[in-house]
Amino acid sequence: MNDKAVGQVGALASRSPMGLVTAGDDGDRGHTVSRLLGRMRHSAFQGRKLGEAFEVWQRMIDGDGLICLGLAGSLASAGLAPLITWLVDRGYVDLVASTSANVTEDLLEARGARFFQVEPEHVDDAELWRQGFYRFYDHVVGAADYDAMEDFTRGFFESLAARWPSPTLPGVRFMHEFGRWLDGQGLGTTIAATCFRQRVPLFVPAAPDGPLAEGYRTARAKGPVVDFFADYDVALRIMARYMPPGPGTSAVFLGGGVPKDFIQITATSVKAIRGDAAPSPHLAAIQITTDNTVFGGLGGASVASECISWGKEAVDGLNVMLFADVTIALPLLCQGLLERYGPTHARRARAAIRADLDEVLDA
């Protein structure tokens, strides 16, 4: 690799955030992060909001309601996928809605691809292209590795075509089968495979907007048609079981975009289905974003204000809008949760929620 062409580049050291959430390192130093977050709760500005987010997430975990997770942004390429799988494994989220990239680009490192850091203010993108690198702001990956990952997903489509008996399947089942296939390929650490093993519904409303599109294009057999509208029907059946008078639903949004709206808009549809005047909002919500609402982007539409007008979030809900970089906030929150609950914690409501979701998904 030509250092001059790429800028200041170095192989990423062991950057896996799982180093922040390793059993045996959850309190030997006095639970410093959880204590810090607790003190920050009484601070101001976004430090206060980070502390509030930590407090509210604990209340979600201690409760009996359904916890939804929305994933947007370039989190997988940034190395945050292990934190997502940790949350799924721990039962700290029960349902995931994601962009396509976040549940496919975690395949890169799982398949041995290396990322390199660059200085975005000095890098020469034309030279990166000539030397065969794709850039994600301040880190790059080899184009050959990325293209091979896209081509690798072709095997899933061919496998699905060979064994799926019906002409269609819901998107959530499509992602479940994708996770099953990845698990069988020895890629069980990925988000989709982890959701498969834990029976966590994984909704990807814009699945073609990512590497899966290229896998589909090159597959010799295309298989069943994916019915993404059926996904919404499945999501509504799940939400209707939990929204009041049920134990309630809550959400953690990492970024905004389609995953946020997919989770939130279920509240308005459940209300319409029930046909009464009472809203069916999510009872708690945390959003971590750097988007600003003044430009009209819903990624910046506060869960504590604008979303209430639609009946998506509760007027008196535990709603925290944290304007921060997810790559900073999420590791701190996960480390705090580990210290708070310990390495062997099992969420009280997890078994009942999983049985409930199994009933809906199997139907």
* Active centre residues (catalytic): 312
Asked whether the bond before 17 is cis by omega within 30 degrees of 0, the reply is: no
Helices (H), the chain: 3-6, 32-40, 45-62, 81-90, 107-110, 125-131, 143-152, 154-163, 171-184, 191-198, 211-218, 228-242, 257-274, 306-309, 326-341, 350-362
CB-neighbour burial class of residue 276 (10 A; exposed 0-12, middle 13-18, buried 19+):
exposed
- Mapping DSSP to helix (H, G, I), strand (E, B) and coil, where does residue 181 land? helix
Q: Provide the CA 281 distance to its chain's centre, in angstroms.
A: 21
How far, in Å, CA of 168 to CA of 211, rounded?
A: 21
**Three-state DSSP class for 163?**
helix
Token readout for 248 is: 């309630």
